[in-house]
Amino acid sequence: NAGVTQTPKFQVLKTGQSMTLQCAQDMNHEYMSWYRQDPGMGLRLIHYSVGAGITDQGEVPNGYNVSRSTTEDFPLRLLSAAPSQTSVYFCASSWTSRGDNEQFFGPGTRLTVL
């Protein structure tokens, strides 16, 4: 099993550009989530999904969209990148339909917005 994979590992964008961060898992997990990690602020939940076709907002959803067309994939879209979105983004998945079990994290995407 590859576990949770993310692409790309690094990305530099200009203000106003859009892009999609990819996340996939091969563990047949129901729950998937996106976090951003900023210095001194821990990990903050952006969006999450409890199954294919179901998504919901987390703590910091503004400026991001998600979709969940399959159990395996959970892409995160930045609509119009801003410098405030410079961060490290982690995707995670869990075998239950909630976040109250071990979450398996991907390797992360380091995003810089100029």
Partner 1 sequence: GENVEQHPSTLSVQEGDSAVIKCTYSDSASNYFPWYKQELGKRPQLIIDIRSNVGEKKDQRIAVTLNKTAKHFSLHITETQPEDSAVYFCAASFDNLFFGTGTRLTVIP
Contact flag: residue 112 with partner 1 (CB under 8 A): no
CA 78 to chain centre: 11
CB of 98 to partner 1, least distance (A): 5
Contact flag: residue 106 with partner 1 (CB under 8 A): yes
Contact flag: residue 9 with partner 1 (CB under 8 A): no
Contacts for 106 with CB less than 8 Å, ≥ 6 apart: 3, 4, 5, 6, 23, 90, 91, 92
Contact flag: residue 33 with partner 1 (CB under 8 A): yes
Interface map 49-88 toward partner 1 (x if CB under 8 A):
---------xx-----------------------------
CB of 16 to partner 1, least distance (A): 29
Q: Can you read off the two tokens belonging to residue 50?
A: 């409890």
